[in-house]
């Protein structure tokens, strides 16, 4: 009424009242009356703003990729941006007088695209698709310290690249290549597993062979030990036999000496007996045979005496005319023989 108006802004907006080219009132979240015909209001949002973006770029190997992301910024110096961009309101106090507030996010997206192009053109397609995080970090650093951002008094709060996608045809080719690579890796894994199984089986065989070799070596050591023990026993037995043989030899030598001594003694005894017999025979040769015969018949039994008598009769049979022997005598002789 009469040109006076009332305005109230939230804490996320900064309001500046300008009269005659000078700021007479400014601040965040103000509410006041002003005279519209002589006042110009500059309304600057200072809250955070999310700006989605999506644009296409070309990689170092001339492949087109689409980048999709989001950026969050805020105006931290309202006075500075108010001097560079037109944030003034129409006389109704509700709408902006220019398109600058709407173009600010587009300027930031354009700056982001420019910085992204400088990063993407140095990477091949595969590297670009797999480098989302490195590109995000590099882009966030460049945006935060960019000359346009600092000159406008802006602050980049966050920046994220959600996806880097190639064209559908290229994506299918990459998928086919990746699929073949995965299949190749699967085949290599199967081969490695089989090779590992073969290696393990070979190791098991080698361990078994080594065990058998060790067992045979132990058996050989046992046999050698047994042979050594048997050899030692045989040596002991040989020593015992040698000792027994030496004892036998010594005994035989003693026996030989004893036999020699016995033979000498027997020879001397025989010589003595022969000498005695010779002396006796010499003495008997000079004696009367009748006497000798009589001497030999001393101590004979009757049968021997009768046999001697018959012998004498037989010796002188040519001189005997007739000899009568009674049956009683013969009976007696037969009984003596029984």
Give the mean model confidence (pLDDT) for residues 252-269.
Answer: 83
Mean pLDDT of the 295-306 span? 65
Backbone angles phi, psi at 9, to 5 degrees: -115, 150
pLDDT recorded at residue 316: 65
Query: Mean pLDDT for the chain?
Result: 85
Give the per-residue pLDDT at 277: 76
Q: Is the pLDDT reported for residue 295 higher than 70?
A: no
Q: What are the tokens at 81?
A: 């941006």
What local confidence, expressed as pLDDT, does residue 59 receive? 92
Distance CA 210, CA 204 (A): 10
Looking at residue 137, its pLDDT comes to 93
Identify the structural domains of the chain with CATH numbers, from first to last. Answer: 4-166 (3.30.479.30)
What is the predicted pLDDT for the residue at 184?
Answer: 87
pLDDT above 80: residue 172: yes
> For 3, left (φ over 0), alpha (ψ -120 to 50), or beta?
left
Looking at residue 255, its pLDDT comes to: 82
Average pLDDT for residues 96-108, to the nearest whole number? Answer: 92
pLDDT score recorded for residue 135: 93
For residues 23 and 16, the answer to whether their CB atoms sit within 8 Å is yes
pLDDT band with cut points at 50, 70 and 90 for residue 31:
very high
Q: Is the pLDDT of residue 320 over 90?
A: no
Tokens 């999506």 belong to residue: 54
* Cα–Cα distance for residue pair 72/160, rounded to 1 Å: 9
pLDDT band at 336 (very low <50, low <70, confident <90, very high): low
Average pLDDT over residues 121-126: 90
How far is it, in rounded angstroms, from Cα 255 to Cα 226? 42
Spatial strand order of the sheet with 49-58 comes to 49-58, 64-75, 154-166
Please check the confidence at residue 300 and state whether its pLDDT lies above 80.
no
pLDDT tens by residue, 33-92: 988 888 999 999 999 999 999 999 999 989 999 999 999 999 999 999 988 999 999 988
Mean pLDDT of all residues in 194-215: 90
62, 126 contact by CB (below 8 A) = no
- % pLDDT > 70, the chain: 85
**pLDDT value for 94:** 83
Asked whether residue 208 carries a pLDDT value surpassing 80, the answer given is yes
Which range among 214-218, 286-290, 305-309 has the greatest average pLDDT?
214-218
Asked whether the predicted pLDDT for residue 231 surpasses 60, the reply is yes
Res 280 pLDDT > 80: no
Percentage of the chain modeled with pLDDT above 90: 40
pLDDT exceeds 80 at position 170? yes
What pLDDT is recorded for position 179? 82
């Amino acid at each position: 009424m009469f040109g006076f108006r009332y305005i109230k802004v939230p804490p996320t907006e900064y309001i500046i009242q300008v009269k005659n080219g000078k700021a007479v009132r400014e601040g965040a979240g103000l509410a006041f009356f002003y005279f519209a015909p002589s006042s110009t209001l500059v309304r600057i949002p200072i809250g955070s703003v999310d700006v989605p973006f999506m644009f296409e770029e070309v990689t170092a190997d001339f492949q087109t990729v689409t980048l999709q992301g989001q950026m969050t910024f805020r105006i931290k110096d309202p006075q500075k941006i108010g001097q560079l961009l037109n944030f003034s309101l129409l006389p109704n106090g509700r709408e902006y007088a220019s398109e600058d507030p709407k173009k600010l996010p587009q300027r930031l997206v354009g700056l982001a695209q420019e910085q992204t192009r400088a990063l993407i053109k140095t990477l091949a397609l595969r590297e670009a698709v797999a480098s989302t995080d490195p590109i995000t970090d590099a882009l966030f650093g460049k945006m935060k310290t960019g000359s346009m951002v600092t000159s406008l008094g802006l602050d980049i709060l966050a920046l994220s690249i959600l996806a880097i996608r190639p064209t559908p045809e290229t994506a299918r080719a990459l998928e086919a290549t990746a699929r073949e690579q995965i299949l190749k890796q699967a085949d290599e894994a199967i081969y490695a597993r089989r090779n590992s199984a073969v290696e393990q089986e070979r190791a098991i065989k080698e361990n078994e062979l080594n065990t058998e070799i060790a067992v045979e070596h132990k058996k050989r050591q046992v046999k050698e030990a047994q042979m050594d023990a048997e050899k030692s026993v045989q040596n002991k037995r040989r020593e015992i036999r040698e000792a027994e043989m030496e004892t036998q030899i010594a005994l035989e030598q003693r026996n030989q000496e004893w036999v020699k001594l016995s033979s000498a003694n027997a020879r001397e005894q025989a010589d003595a007996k022969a000498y005695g017999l010779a002396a006796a025979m010499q003495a008997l040769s000079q004696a009367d045979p009748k006497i000798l015969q009589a001497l030999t018949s001393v101590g004979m039994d009757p049968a021997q005496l009768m046999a001697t008598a018959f012998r004498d009769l037989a010796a002188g049979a040519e001189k005997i005319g007739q000899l009568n022997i009674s049956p009683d005598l013969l009976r007696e002789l037969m009984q003596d023989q029984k």
